[in-house]
A = this chain, B = another copy of it.
Amino acid sequence: MAASTGQLCPQRLTMEHVTSRWGVLVLIRLQERPHRFAELRRAIDATESVGPVTEKMLAQTLQSLERDGMVNRDAKPVVPPHVEYSLTELGHEAAVQIRALALWTNDRMDQVEKARETYDASKGRA
């Protein structure tokens, strides 16, 4: 009868936003320098071994991060539109944490893959 799904504490929500698939990439890209929307999109698309971001997901990710106070959205009132996204102080702190995690993951990736093979070999077919 309960609400079941959706019962997340606010911390969980925040973590989901910053550790989400595109959240991670956005934070890391914006850590380097501010980006415009399409620019960010292209930067992410160019990232090796990462599929393309849809506009929808990028917009959604940026909105989550903006709402959480991680990202500043600076829309200059010109035509055609020119919007710059950058990290807030909070967002910068988040990026540091995320970057550390991402780098560690990359570092240990071969260990992890080795472990997976071993595990699968002993489990997949006894």
Contact = CB atoms under 8 A, between A and B. Distances in A.
How many copies make up the complex?
A: 2
B97 A67 contact: no
A14 B93 contact: no
Interface residues of A, number: 41
In this complex, the member of A8, A94, A112, A113 whose beta carbon has the largest number of chain B beta carbons within 10 angstroms is: A112
B15 A102 contact: yes
A11 B97 contact: no
Interface stretch (A35-43, A77-85, A103-111): A103-111
A115 interface: yes
Given A10-B109, A12-B21, 9 more contacts: A10-B112, A11-B106, A15-B105, A67-B115, A67-B120, A69-B115, A90-B108, A90-B111, A97-B104
